[in-house]
Amino acid sequence: MGRCLQRMARHMNDVIISKLVEIERSHAVTILYAIEAGSRSQGVSNSNSDYDVRFIYMHEKDWYLSLDQKKDTIEVQEDRLDISGWDLAKTLRLLRKSNISLSEWLQSKIVYQEVPGFAQELLQLFKASFNAKSAFYHHLQLAKKNYLAYKHKQKNPKIYYYSLKSILACNWIHQRKQMPPNDMMQLLEDVEISAELLTEVNLLLKEKISGKKQEHELNTLRGFMDAELEQLQSIGQDMSISITNEREITLALDNFFRKMLNRYE
């Protein structure tokens, strides 16, 4: 079974690399960074999980020298492949807003393709321009949305997992004023957690990985999440706006953008 899974993983890796090469050719772009997002990158996927491939790309310099706004995303849906990419300019604009999806991309443990040093430099720019309040509210809204969906629809460990992860990310941002990690167990470092609560978190992870409907009630975890959401709402209202030098940040991002354009002209 183990060898079979390894062969399947290698096959899918080859398929994904082939698709990325095809995208570069058909769209006349250079892919700077391509990773696995979602559950596979976090080690909580199951046999039914899709491959969520995300990438950052750029065109040749002349493509950007136009008064007309052009499409700045690429999407490919095929069988179990969900492939989506952002143009570099779009990526940098979202970075300036501390986009939480981008922060997770830059921390992915599964990298399919990368221009050497690109992700590390982009990650440093993200950390330097991190807006704690903006990221806090992004995670809080996501936590509330997923938790509400979980309570009003069928019990789905996947929705529950992502709600808990966003709650823990809010806690991390509140405590450290830093970009949160993409690892659930690392996020738990900033939370005083009882043995019973930790047991239920581990049960949730097992159910998420199994791909089955939730079998355990997880009452302690639910009580924790209810209390945290109420407290985080209050914290968000009192949270001060992050003080960042927007002019310096924009200059740094502009310089990075020009450097990448000049490298591939």
Domain of 116 in residue numbering reads as 1-127
The mean pLDDT value for 1-26 works out to: 81
Average pLDDT, the chain: 89
The mean pLDDT value for 110-136 works out to: 94
pLDDT value of residue 150 = 81
Q: Supply 53's token pair.
A: 């491939």
**What amino acid occupies position 108?**
S
Q: Which residue has the higher pLDDT, 179 or 9?
A: 179
pTM: 0.91
The mean pLDDT value for 254-259 works out to: 96
Domain count, the chain: 2
**Edge-to-edge strand list for the sheet holding 111-114:** 73-78, 81-87, 51-58, 30-37, 111-114
Question: Do 34 and 54 touch, CB atoms closer than 8 A?
Answer: yes
**What amino acid occupies position 159?**
I
- Both 110 and 219 in a single domain? no
pLDDT value of residue 1 = 45
pLDDT value of residue 128 = 92
- Residue partners of 12: CB distance under 8 A and separation at least 6: 51
Cα–Cα dist 242/128, whole Å:
12
**What amino acid occupies position 145?**
K
**Domain end (from 87, 110, 127):** 127
- Both 39 and 111 in a single domain? yes
- Both 143 and 83 in a single domain? no
- Taken in order 44, 41, 166, 197, is the CA torsion positive or negative? positive
**Domain end (from 127, 148, 177):** 127
**What are all long-range contacts of 256-264, with beta carbons under 8 Å and residues at least 24 apart?**
256/92, 256/121, 256/122, 256/125, 257/88, 257/89, 257/92, 260/32, 260/58, 260/88, 261/58, 261/61, 261/64, 262/61, 264/30, 264/58, 264/60, 264/61
Q: At what angle do helices 219-238 and 132-152 cross, to 10 degrees?
A: 150
- Both 6 and 82 in a single domain? yes
Cα–Cα dist 156/30, whole Å:
38
Torsion angle (degrees, nearest 10) of CA 251, 254, 258, 260: 110
Q: Supply 129's token pair.
A: 């321009």
- Both 118 and 8 in a single domain? yes
Cα–Cα dist 205/208, whole Å:
5
**Domain end (from 85, 110, 127):** 127
Count of CB atoms within 10 A of residue 261's CB? 17
Which segment, 87-101, 174-188, 206-220, is predicted with the most confidence on average? 87-101
CA 80 vs CA 7, 51, 101, 118: distances in Å: 17, 6, 20, 28
- Both 26 and 44 in a single domain? yes
- Both 74 and 149 in a single domain? no
Closest alpha carbon to 180 in 134, 226, 239, 145: 134
- Both 120 and 173 in a single domain? no
Query: Which pLDDT band holds residue 193 (cuts at 50, 70, 90)?
Result: confident
